[in-house]
Amino acid sequence: MKFTRRRFVQTVGTSLVVTPLSLQASGSHQRVKNNPFQHGVASGDPLEDRVILWTRITVNNPQHRVVQVKWRIALDPEFETVVNEGITHTATEIDFTVKVDPDDLQSGTTYYYQFHALGYESPVGRTKTLPKNHIDHLRIAFTSCSNYPFGYFNVYKMIAQRQDLDVVLHLGDYIYEYANGTYGDGSALNRIPEPNKEITTLDDYRMRYSQYRQDLDLQEAHRQHPFITIWDDHEVANDAWNGGAENHNPELGEGNWLDRRAAAVKAYYEWMPIRRVDSDNPLKAYRKFRFGNLLDLMMLDTRLYGRDQQVANALDPKLNDPDRKLLGDEQSEWLLENLQDSQEDSIKWRMLGQQVMFGQLVVSGQIFNVDQWDGYPASRQKVLNHLKDNNIDNTIILTGDIHSSWAMDITENPYDGSQYDGLTGQGSVAVEFVTPAVTSPALTNEVEADQTAFYLKATNPHMKFVDLFHRGYVLLDITHERTQAEWYHAESIVEPGNTNQVYAAGFKINDATNRLTIADKVSNEKNTAPAFAPSFSGNEHHEKKHYKLDRD
């Protein structure tokens, strides 16, 4: 074993996970309890000159209805070069969550940030602004589907430990709405969801986020990397669409859909490091991020904004109704325009960060899942026509939702040999990469999962990689020559602190080819990566280190 600096940081980081317990044992229980930064820090939605910084204040004194919070952001982890600082307030109305959006930052730059409230300093976070103009290389991790009772968030810790990431994408199902035992039983792992009931009200959703964000592995991923997130269905309720959800049942006392959705969305904005794109309409969360001349990332909402209701099954005659929408007209127009603008601006790659599988999945001659783009064929065709009609190259779809790993070519009809050649990929117009879950399961029997994957690849010629068993994440390594996706699978999600991971597969799309080929080698880490945010106990009272807000 090589003892590198990286390994040292990892080891120290792991040992600190137990600090709260050791502090309690040494009689510092009061300090642990009073520390207001129980949910760590986070950052997100980076732009060239700004990035959202987030924390939350845990208030033990019910008299406190408003809390003053100081913040600062610096070029170095020791805060010797502070570039901006300020004072903000938080209150009961926003569940004591804190968001600041400091501007005037430099593009493509790593920053360190920290908050201060009620006599305590927060952990130090690390973040990075988007690059501008020409850049050579990006490294991005993406994942989805983190169900608390199903297992430990080891996958988040693995992502936290990758020092050279530019950003992390979370494609939804960041929380799950169920009571314990409905989908995942956390009894054995002591990961019982709070409140232990199906969440439907604002207080419920807030409490669920609060529980998830006390998970130290999730906190560490947020502390080390900026996130770009978008919701899927479980941030509100299973199989959500614009007007309801499979798991929304007013007759069971779950209230009105619009009230429940509004509560869930409010809690999402409070608890996630996301920037509102429309001050009048919180439901509008689709948005775009430009990474220099290398990548345009369009984050889509295929759930709440414009989705018409799912059809009952694949035989439903309404399936092919051209008026049924997945994105809704406004979002669809926005996407098509942005794809075209991106190509015209000579941005090398276009990525769609979204929820449900875009490519066709046919089992025994029938569409398998009408909750995916397969259930909205007219909406998918519109995107495909646009790519073809405008000769838009280098489009990559990033997908979550189904707790399994897939790589596939995207084409209008992969089952028609005159249109698409499964051996060469001739006829493909884009590619799709699907991430496994942080913890949510797909098939739980490994032999059965392998056999099913083999069958699916044999009968769906556009599918190049299918794994239906493992949890993990996808690493994207992006250059002007190619984008490579690598699937990393977790050894265990039931053993706490196990961050062993297996390189499961790698596929790349070479510039202007629009089809997948197998990656010949694992991508290299960046030669230089900014220092991690320093480790912290999260529970110490730094009386002497309080920073002044006066500029020198």
Stretch that binds Fe ion, among 115-123, 169-177, 462-470, 522-530 (CB under 5 A): 169-177
**Closest to 143 measured CA to CA, from 452, 405, 328:** 405
Please identify, using beta-carbon distances, which residue of 53 and 169 lies nearer to Fe ion.
Answer: 169
Task: Output DSSP code: residue 437.
Answer: B
* Cα gap 117→96, rounded to integer Å: 11
530-549 positions binding Fe ion, by CB under 5 A: none
Please identify, using beta-carbon distances, which residue of 166 and 173 lies nearer to Fe ion.
Answer: 173
Stretch that binds Fe ion, among 57-65, 142-150, 269-277, 428-436 (CB under 5 A): 142-150
Stretch that binds Fe ion, among 80-88, 279-287, 427-435, 440-448 (CB under 5 A): 440-448
Q: Does 434 bind Fe ion (CB under 5 A)?
A: no
Residues 6+ apart with CB under 8 A from 408: 359, 431, 432, 460, 462, 463, 464, 465, 516
Q: Does 177 bind Fe ion (CB under 5 A)?
A: no
Please identify, using beta-carbon distances, which residue of 399 and 428 lies nearer to Fe ion.
Answer: 399
Stretch that binds Fe ion, among 129-137, 145-153, 327-335, 477-485 (CB under 5 A): 145-153
Please identify, using beta-carbon distances, which residue of 434 and 516 lies nearer to Fe ion.
Answer: 434
Please identify, using beta-carbon distances, which residue of 163 and 440 lies nearer to Fe ion.
Answer: 440
Q: Does 145 bind Fe ion (CB under 5 A)?
A: yes
**Closest to 326 measured CA to CA, from 287, 367, 286, 273:** 286
Please identify, using beta-carbon distances, which residue of 430 and 442 lies nearer to Fe ion.
Answer: 442
Residues 6+ apart with CB under 8 A from 367: 314, 319, 360, 361, 374, 375
* Cα gap 254→260, rounded to integer Å: 8
CB of 151 to Fe ion, least distance (A): 13
Stretch that binds Fe ion, among 103-111, 340-348, 434-442, 481-489 (CB under 5 A): 434-442
Stretch that binds Fe ion, among 85-93, 138-146, 312-320, 486-494 (CB under 5 A): 138-146
Q: Does 408 bind Fe ion (CB under 5 A)?
A: no
Residues 6+ apart with CB under 8 A from 544: none
Tokens of 551: 């500029």
Please identify, using beta-carbon distances, which residue of 293 and 440 lies nearer to Fe ion.
Answer: 440
Q: Does 173 bind Fe ion (CB under 5 A)?
A: yes
Q: Does 155 bind Fe ion (CB under 5 A)?
A: no
Collapse the DSSP code of 324 into the 3-class scheme (helix H, G, I; strand E, B; otherwise coil) and give the result. Answer: coil
Tokens of 191: 């990961």
Number of residues lying near Fe ion (CB under 5 A): 3
CB of 234 to Fe ion, least distance (A): 6
Beta strands 482-490 and 501-510 are antiparallel
- For residue 220, the Cα-to-chain-centroid distance in whole angstroms is 14
Q: Does 371 bind Fe ion (CB under 5 A)?
A: no
Residues 6+ apart with CB under 8 A from 451: none
Contact positions vs Fe ion (CB under 5 A): 145, 173, 440
